Amino acid sequence: MESLQRKLRRIDGRGYKAYKEIRGVYQFQGYTLFVDHVQGDPFAAPSRVRVRVKQQVAKFSPELFKNRSRRIGVEDYLVRAFSNAIDAVARGHRGSGKSGMVSIASCGQEILERSAVVVNGEFVEVRFLVGLPARGRMVLGKQAEEVFFQEIPLIVSRSLLHENTDRDRLSRQVDVCEDADFIRSSLVEKGYVCFIANDSILPRKTGIDDRPMNLSKAVPILSPESLSMTFDRPNSGTITGMAIPEGVTLIVGGGYHGKSTLLRAIERGVYNHILEDGREFAITDVNTVKVRAEDGRRVEKVDISAFLANLPTGIDTRSFSSDDASGSTSQAASIVEGMEVGAKLLLMDEDTCATNFMIRDRRMQELISKDKEPITPFLDRVRELYSQFGVSSILVLGGSGDYFDVADTVISMDTYQPRDVTSEAKEIAARYGTQRAREVGNSFSKITQRAPLRHSFNPRRGKREVKIDTKSMNEISFGTTRIDLLCVEQLVDVGQARAIGDAIHYMSRKYADGSHSMLEIVEMVSRDIEKSGLDVLSPFRDEVYGDYALPRKFEIAAAINRMRTLTVKQLM
Ligand code: ADP
Ligand code: MG
């Protein structure tokens, strides 16, 4: 601690490069400070710093992190607590560029595994950023002293000592994580794909604000009797709500009655949520993929022949590639790519689907004969998806009753409340036949696995051998390639996008040798992360980053699949 102080006093007033001297490890009262990386100038990315507090001092009981669910709950809680303490304590901006800024990964409504905090039996470690203060390019040693000797000690003591945390809130968040994970796995064992507890608040504040809608306006959800189900929780007793069984489910109802809001909650139910989010017990099978049309996207050698055949130019749809896919072909490719890496539930919303991919009614069949229409609509494949592959679907479709014939469950949303209208829909289907012919020439029997080839992944940009940047969750720059993730809707945190960028580099070095399938690759990466933590993704040996959040294997695959440089070999 004294040695850091001496260094800061010595370099005060010198050129910014003098800060390089403070890289090192310092013993403070109650914690160790690591200055891992010192920024080159005040405008560059801020310096990377870690604080490690021994559990003899921090005193978080092992009960709080005795399993993975609980550990993630504690770690996520501490990231937020540290961030709140920064807001309360740090003076922030002082000098040029990012001078004096203390910051940590920011979190949304989802509880995710993050690299910003590590909690184990030995210590609590927090990784964060400090903008080393300067005027112009001149070291402001006094200001740096303030940050390291006044602000950080206070932030640490406010947020990383168990005695100073809101213990009740912390233990509730940890319990919710464990309970939600428990329901998520028992759900699937019992043959259901998702569960939405009664009184959940599904609507959000605005289209760009993911916090819950004001409780005075939001209508809490209540399960219809016929879909009602009760789960036991390890920590908080029983909970009742709507459970949607496997198979084909339709969500119907008038416009503006809450269909998309329900689907969105199901989409996000693959993640746990913080207290008071309203979706703490809106829980979905982890193997769920939201699919949508995404015209313009890249597709590389995907077998979409189950949905498209006889394209006008004679293109072989068993190995379909495009640099500019259409709405229908992009949607077909996304379904197959999701199934390729293990999707068990597909979610689709009419608002973002290609109509010609979803339906083709009697009259259109009459006008445009099958040999002129390459598309087999999803309607004619959705049952096979379930019977052949065990893949369920939940479809929001207010506009077509043709799906009544193929649905197992029909839920109607009526002023934000679900009703079970399955038998009504079936009666109507029996009374009014669609008179359309099923359009299944070839059978849908297998998913062709693909092996990504190493030369697809070049992280080099200019003089930098590895340059992977992620400024928002919608876009990764991988070398000179831009990966557009705007339509990958289950990506929820910029930290996930950062992890994906580095995961692509990681897997390209380790696994993309042309013999491993996409499924094997994303599973191996996920397993490595589970075993050794998100730190394994760091492209530079021994450097740790505090800005990763755990991505799902589906989003890693989705990013790879959208790379304009991707080349694969189809495996037979
Ligand atoms: P749909 O897809 O059926 O057209 P949306 O799900 O888009 O309807 O919802 C329409 C509007 O109603 C949105 O502004 C949404 O925020 C709001 N809304 C949805 N569910 C609820 C609810 N439970 N309580 C209050 N408002 C809701
Ligand atoms: Mg809608």
Residues 148 and 225 occupy one common structural domain: no
The answer, yes or no, to whether any atom of ligand 1 lies below 6 A from the CB of 440, is no
pLDDT of residue 87: 96
Mean pLDDT, range 495-504, rounded to an integer: 98
Q: How confident is the model at residue 334 (pLDDT cuts 50, 70, 90)?
A: very high
Residue 186 maps to which CATH number?
Answer: 3.40.50.300
DSSP state of 277: S
Are residues 376 and 440 in contact, defined by beta-carbon separation less than 8 angstroms? yes
Residues 52, 30: Cα–Cα separation, whole Å: 9
By mean pLDDT, which of 8-17, 160-169, 537-546 is the weakest?
537-546
Residue with CA closest to ligand 1 atom 25: 218
CB atoms within 10 A of CB 108: 18
pLDDT of residue 498: 98
pLDDT of residue 312: 80
C-alpha 380 to ligand 1 mean position (Å)? 30
Residues 379 and 459 occupy one common structural domain: no
Q: How confident is the model at residue 394 (pLDDT cuts 50, 70, 90)?
A: very high
- Residue-wise pLDDT tens digits, 210-219: 999 999 999 9
Upper half-sphere CA count for residue 279 (Cβ side, 13 Å): 27
Residues 249 and 210 occupy one common structural domain: yes
In the predicted model, is pLDDT for residue 94 greater than 90?
Answer: no
The answer, yes or no, to whether any atom of ligand 1 lies below 6 A from the CB of 207, is no
* Nearest ligand, CA 353: 2
Are residues 434 and 362 in contact, defined by beta-carbon separation less than 8 angstroms? yes
pLDDT of residue 495: 98
Mutate to test the pocket of ligand 1, among 215, 221, 251, 256 (most ligand atoms within 8 A of CB): 256
- Residue-wise pLDDT tens digits, 247-280: 999 999 999 999 999 999 999 999 999 999 999 9
Residues 267, 292: Cα–Cα separation, whole Å: 12
In the predicted model, is pLDDT for residue 438 greater than 90?
Answer: no
Residue with CA closest to ligand 1 atom 7: 260
Q: Work out which ligand 1 atom sits closest to the CA atom of 202.
A: 23
pLDDT of residue 300: 98
Contacts of 275 (CB under 8 A, 6+ apart): 169, 172, 173, 176
pLDDT of residue 372: 82
The answer, yes or no, to whether any atom of ligand 1 lies below 6 A from the CB of 279, is no
The answer, yes or no, to whether any atom of ligand 1 lies below 6 A from the CB of 219, is yes
Mean pLDDT, range 48-61, rounded to an integer: 98
Q: Quote the mean pLDDT of the chain.
A: 96
In the predicted model, is pLDDT for residue 440 greater than 90?
Answer: no
By percentage, how much of the chain surpasses pLDDT 70?
A: 100
In the predicted model, is pLDDT for residue 444 greater than 90?
Answer: no
Domain boundary among 136, 165, 194: 165
Q: How confident is the model at residue 310 (pLDDT cuts 50, 70, 90)?
A: confident
Mean pLDDT, range 3-27, rounded to an integer: 97
Mean pLDDT, range 547-559, rounded to an integer: 98
Q: How confident is the model at residue 73 (pLDDT cuts 50, 70, 90)?
A: very high
Residues 104 and 44 occupy one common structural domain: yes
Residues 435, 364: Cα–Cα separation, whole Å: 12
DSSP state of 149: I
Q: How confident is the model at residue 136 (pLDDT cuts 50, 70, 90)?
A: very high
Q: How confident is the model at residue 572 (pLDDT cuts 50, 70, 90)?
A: confident
Report how many helices (DSSP H) and strands (DSSP E) the chain contains, helices first. Answer: 15, 29
In the predicted model, is pLDDT for residue 399 greater than 90?
Answer: no
Q: How confident is the model at residue 322 (pLDDT cuts 50, 70, 90)?
A: very high
Residues spanned by the domain of 194: 170-448
Q: How confident is the model at residue 443 (pLDDT cuts 50, 70, 90)?
A: confident
Residues 411 and 485 occupy one common structural domain: no
Residues 282 and 393 occupy one common structural domain: yes
Mean pLDDT, range 200-215, rounded to an integer: 97
Q: How confident is the model at residue 143 (pLDDT cuts 50, 70, 90)?
A: very high
In the predicted model, is pLDDT for residue 95 greater than 90?
Answer: no
pLDDT of residue 93: 84
Mean pLDDT, range 146-153, rounded to an integer: 97
Q: Which of 538, 551, 106 is nearest to 341 (CA)?
A: 551
pLDDT of residue 193: 98
In the predicted model, is pLDDT for residue 457 greater than 90?
Answer: yes
Residues 415 and 488 occupy one common structural domain: no
- Give the SS3 label for residue 482: strand
Q: Work out which ligand 1 atom sits closest to the CA atom of 220.
A: 23
Could you write out the three-class secondary structure of 44-55?
CCCEEEEEEEEH
C-alpha 139 to ligand 1 mean position (Å)? 53
Residues 145 and 174 occupy one common structural domain: no
pLDDT of residue 311: 83
Residues 318 and 440 occupy one common structural domain: yes
Residues 52 and 8 occupy one common structural domain: yes
Number of domains in the chain: 3
Mean pLDDT, range 62-70, rounded to an integer: 97
Residues 435, 139: Cα–Cα separation, whole Å: 79
Are residues 135 and 33 in contact, defined by beta-carbon separation less than 8 angstroms? no
Residues 528 and 512 occupy one common structural domain: yes
Residues 393, 349: Cα–Cα separation, whole Å: 11
Domain boundary among 165, 183, 215: 165
Domain boundary among 111, 140, 165: 165
The answer, yes or no, to whether any atom of ligand 1 lies below 6 A from the CB of 203, is yes
Q: How far apart are the first and last CA of the chain?
A: 61
Mutate to test the pocket of ligand 1, among 261, 262, 347, 396 (most ligand atoms within 8 A of CB): 261
In the predicted model, is pLDDT for residue 373 greater than 90?
Answer: no
Are residues 399 and 459 in contact, defined by beta-carbon separation less than 8 angstroms? no
- Residue-wise pLDDT tens digits, 222-248: 999 999 999 999 999 999 999 999 999
Mean pLDDT, range 378-384, rounded to an integer: 95
Residues 462 and 443 occupy one common structural domain: no
In the predicted model, is pLDDT for residue 441 greater than 80?
Answer: no
pLDDT of residue 371: 80
Q: Please count the residues of the chain.
A: 572
Residues 503, 94: Cα–Cα separation, whole Å: 36
pLDDT of residue 542: 81
